[in-house]
Homo-oligomer: A and B are copies of this chain.
Amino acid sequence: MFFASDNWAGAHRSIAERLLQESTGFAAAYGTSELDRRVEARFAEIFEREVSVFFVATGTAANSLSLASVQRPGGITFCHSEAHVIEDECGAPDFFSSARLVAVPGEAGKIDPDKLAKKIAGFPADAVHHGRATAVTITQATEIGTVYSLSEIDAISAIAKQSNLPLHMDGARFANALVALGATPAEMTWKRGVDILSFGGTKNGCWCAEAIVFFNPEQAKEMPFIRKRAAQLFSKSRFIAAQFDGYFENNLWLDLAGHSNGMADRLRAGISGSNSARLAWATTSNEVFAVIPRSAAKVAEERGAKFYEWPVPTATPELVGSEETLIRLVTSFATTEADVDGFLSCLVA
C-alpha cells in the first residue's frame, strides 16, 4: 500500500533487464554511442518530427536546463503558483538560468490564460527595471493530478506566442497525462505550440531516465554546453538510452501509465462510493486527492499504508472538516489492485 509517491516504486522488470543486458560490451561514452543515436531516433518517431534530445539525471535538471536554454539577462519565466519548478526544486531553475520565476494563479492547478496575459503585460519589453518576460512553463500532468486539455494548452500557447515567448512543458508525468487525454505525443506538445519538453521516465518505471526534448533543434544549439557545464552529461550515457529503449519497446511506457492511471481510477471509484471519504477535487492522472476521516487515516497507517497529508488550499479551508484530513495518493506501474483495495478497506473500517 505505497501511495506516497510514484518515485517510491522501483524499476519495471523489462527496463531492469534491458539494463542488465546492456551491461556487457564496450561503447563510446558521453552520449555518442550507437544506442544513444538509436534511442534519439526513437524519440523522433514517437513525436513524429525531428527532435533534439538530451538525457539528464533528474526532473529538476530537465526543467532547469530547459528554462536556462531560453533565458536572457533579467528574464522572467511564468509558471503556475504551485508548479514544481517554483515550489520543489530549491531554486534550481533560478540558479541555472539566472532568471526569476513569476507565479500565475489558476484553478485546478492550471495557469489561467487571462491571468497569464495580464502578468506578461506587466513586463513591457523596454521596462528594464522590471525585467522581461522570457518563457512560459506548464506542468502536464499538473502537481495536483489534473491534466490540461488540448484546448487549454492551445490557450496558454496562444498567449505565449503573442509575446514571442517559448513554451516549456514539465512532463515529469507526461505518459500519465497522455493516456488520460488519449492524445498522441505530437498532439500534446509541438502541435499545440510546446517548444521544449521535460520528458520524464523515472516516475513511470525507469529508475533514472529523464530527457529534454527540443522540437526545434535550432533552439538546442547551446544545450550541449549548458548540459556539460551543469555536470549533467553522463559518461556511460548508454545506460540512460537503454532504459528508454526498454521503456518505448512495444509501447511499454503507455501500458505502464495506463496501469497506473487505472489504479488511480479504482481508487477514485472506491473513494467516491465511500460514505466516509470523498475526492477533494477531480483528477484524471495517477494522483488522487481525498478527504478522509482522521480515524481512517490512522487505520490505514497502522495497516502499513504510505501516503502524505496535503496542505489544505488556503482559498478553500471549508474543504476539510475538523475531524478530517486531506491526503494525496499516488499510484504507479507497481501498484496492485490488492494495494488499492487494501487502502479502500480502511475507509470503511
A210-238 contacts to B, CB under 8 A, are: 222, 224-226, 228-236
Asked if A321 is an interface residue, CB under 8 A from chain B, the answer is no
Chain B residue numbers with a CB within 8 Å of A129 are: 30, 87-90, 228
Residue in A4, A27, A130, A230 with the greatest tally of chain B CB atoms within 10 Å: A230
Asked if residues B92 and A229 are in contact (CB atoms below 8 Å), the reply is yes
A300 shortest CB reach to chain B, Å:
15
Chain B residue numbers with a CB within 8 Å of A61 are: 231-232
Asked if A132 is an interface residue, CB under 8 A from chain B, the answer is yes
Q: A16-B19, A90-B74, A225-B72 are in contact. Are A57 and B232 (CB under 8 A)?
A: yes
Asked if A2 is an interface residue, CB under 8 A from chain B, the answer is yes
Asked if residues A73 and B26 are in contact (CB atoms below 8 Å), the reply is no
Asked if residues A224 and B16 are in contact (CB atoms below 8 Å), the reply is no
Asked if A80 is an interface residue, CB under 8 A from chain B, the answer is no
- Number of contact residues on A: which range applies? 35 or more
Asked if A95 is an interface residue, CB under 8 A from chain B, the answer is yes
Report Cα–Cα, A73/B224, bound state, in Å: 9
Report Cα–Cα, A232/B112, bound state, in Å: 32
Asked if residues A16 and B20 are in contact (CB atoms below 8 Å), the reply is yes
Q: A232-B58, A233-B60 are in contact. Are A22 and B5 (CB under 8 A)?
A: no
Chain B residue numbers with a CB within 8 Å of A73 are: 68, 90-91, 222, 225-226, 229
A34 shortest CB reach to chain B, Å:
12
Report Cα–Cα, A68/B72, bound state, in Å: 11
A163-184 contacts to B, CB under 8 A, are: none
Interface string of A1-40 (1 = CB under 8 A from B): 0101101111111011101101111111110000000000
Residue in A20, A65, A68, A87 with the greatest tally of chain B CB atoms within 10 Å: A20
Asked if residues A231 and B23 are in contact (CB atoms below 8 Å), the reply is no
Report Cα–Cα, A131/B23, bound state, in Å: 30
Asked if A42 is an interface residue, CB under 8 A from chain B, the answer is no
Chain B residue at smallest Cβ distance from A27: B8
Asked if residues A202 and B235 are in contact (CB atoms below 8 Å), the reply is yes
Residue in A9, A15, A56, A95 with the greatest tally of chain B CB atoms within 10 Å: A95
Chain B residue numbers with a CB within 8 Å of A94 are: 94, 98, 100
Asked if A278 is an interface residue, CB under 8 A from chain B, the answer is no
Residue in A19, A23, A59, A101 with the greatest tally of chain B CB atoms within 10 Å: A23
Contact with A239, one of B11, B91, B229 (Cβ below 8 angstroms) = B11
Asked if residues B20 and A130 are in contact (CB atoms below 8 Å), the reply is no
Residue in A5, A56, A101, A131 with the greatest tally of chain B CB atoms within 10 Å: A131
Asked if residues B74 and A229 are in contact (CB atoms below 8 Å), the reply is yes
Report Cα–Cα, A32/B82, bound state, in Å: 24
Q: List 26 A-B contacts (CB under 8 A).
A: A5-B29, A7-B29, A7-B235, A8-B26, A8-B27, A8-B28, A9-B26, A10-B27, A13-B23, A16-B19, A16-B23, A20-B20, A24-B334, A26-B334, A56-B231, A58-B233, A59-B235, A73-B229, A89-B229, A90-B130, A90-B229, A91-B100, A95-B229, A128-B224, A202-B236, A208-B208
A residues at B contact (CB < 8 Å): 2, 4-5, 7-13, 15-17, 19-20, 22-30, 56-61, 64-65, 68, 72-76, 87-92, 94-96, 98-101, 128-132, 202-203, 207-208, 222, 224-226, 228-236, 239, 306, 334
